Structure 1
């Protein structure tokens, strides 16, 4: 069954805290789609999705491909036989859903490269827009850092240069930028925006960020919210110094937004509990524009079956609810011990990306509760899940078969956890509804 015309769609990468990408591929104008996905008919308004997937190649490297698929709810496997080959650093697809256009970012160039759906259903690349004039070195990060207000206005949240770049995707022009260095730079700590969705409140778009040390073991107890008024482009930054790396936000039915420590910092706490505090949760009230006094550690209400297991992250669920990831500490300990014995590094990122994270449902509020989700189609997976685009559906990518494939799990904002049927070859680093 096909998704209706929902403003939904972008699911993305999910392994390390990395960056994004660039391309200038030559499309196969005859058939740019995967044979399993079917050839799109540009004359209809049936949904069409574009995705970037990274497939392992010789030498431990990966190759990126741009694939189109017309249904992400069918039980099928999508390959890359007729996909467009992109440069290896290309993995983020971004854009305004349903606009017939997408943009591919670059982890090596300060560019956004547009691809437009033509009358025959092919995605055709156009000249790239460069952000060099604003000091941007690469349009990298997560898909959440590319926020499209409309077809003619978008934001790029540049974590490296602490800037907000405002640009026009329709006529490929730069509008302006905001320098956030004074608010976001903190000594030698590395600042990163959330891999999860930005949250909206009225005219505001809110994206969270946090800091970590270069060893990815030290996480300061500090979280920032960058709030942009989409009508005026004015920026406000709010910080909290009780909870570190609380970058994953879910809006409650009362309008307040709950932010929880993401799995990278939870992994850092596992590796080095003296330099990374227990995962925690704080709350922001858009009505007052401030964090309130409410605070809790996640282990205060998440009670795993094994003592010492670590909870993290906060994913969208049904109204008033969300999901957290819970680490099987015993399984992670086996990997940690093996790394130490083999003289290999093991830090927060390693702990967060191992296949030992299960899913628990949380009821939000002043006194949260959590219950393990038990389903035959759920197994422990990578802890770095990246939900995408509130709308009729959400999409969560699940990396399966030893991370060789990506399965799309459909999430309903009404009922929460849904089915996962479509599987794509490689690790999908971006998904966008283009029609």
Structure 2
């Protein structure tokens, strides 16, 4: 499925576009709400979901007039904040309630910004219902791209990740057969240039200091290990139907070029702009139109030099491990992702070292039997087993 070859006709887009934001309290979700705040005549927020941040979802529902709210954490049923929901607002709890929001008749576009494996269920529901799918949850595609992409109808997928949104923009109007490779840009994270020995002593506070982007803690650590870029390679593989090895990671410290596409004739198209996630979020919600920018434009006369480099795959082992999982496919990306999530959380909690993240991922991958991916239920089983193996491995390291 080549998502960029067919687009949703303007005549099929409702005005205002009715949006469900799943994960509205996180970094992407709050910036998506900011975009909706800027364009109330074009976007209407009808459904909202959070994991457990009841006060934030209530505040957003009251501001935007959302009529559907879901809280994934069942333990929040008695949270007093929920008593302040707008009159008539429908409230549900648990993963199924979050998933149901993706197929509501008064939702046109589903922005999936929930963290981790949970995004698969809502993504599949949105695709089956023929909604415009704006995935900001890269794990859903990494883990279950083989299941999700066959469900994706032409013109119904607008990726939100800055890199994949940039690739999408570069591919509009182009032919898939003429794509030679994708250049996936990478800031290099806060530890660019560090040796493996230096990384052994890296602290979580240092890893959380990203040089150019403001993101949530999990993805910021993934950026520091370069796992985030490995996940994005697999995501691009699924979204744009290109081999893993035709997606080349390019270290670009300034984060001005958000990615590029090289064509058969040697021409390269790149998408440049400010390092502001509201721009790709807005493009995903506005396509095929372009609305007034939510960010301060770059004066390219003052932008300075743009530099490029190779990623150091000897020091940053998560990237080659992710590429290995992507090449193998099947259940291995799921196991790899689960192990990374466990080790990432352990590093943030101070119970393992920075390089123990890739050691954990490698150990779990080595113990995983690679099988074809047949169902979303199978994903749950592989994910659970990989998490158990990751915790056991980390316990042995302690």
TM above 0.5, yes or no, is: no
Structure having the higher strand fraction is 1
TM-score if structure 2 supplies the norm length?
A: 0.31
**TM-score normalised to the size of structure 1?**
0.29
Structure (1 or 2) with the greater helix fraction = 2
Which structure would you say has the larger RCO, counting Cα contacts within 8 Å and 6 or more residues apart? Answer: 1
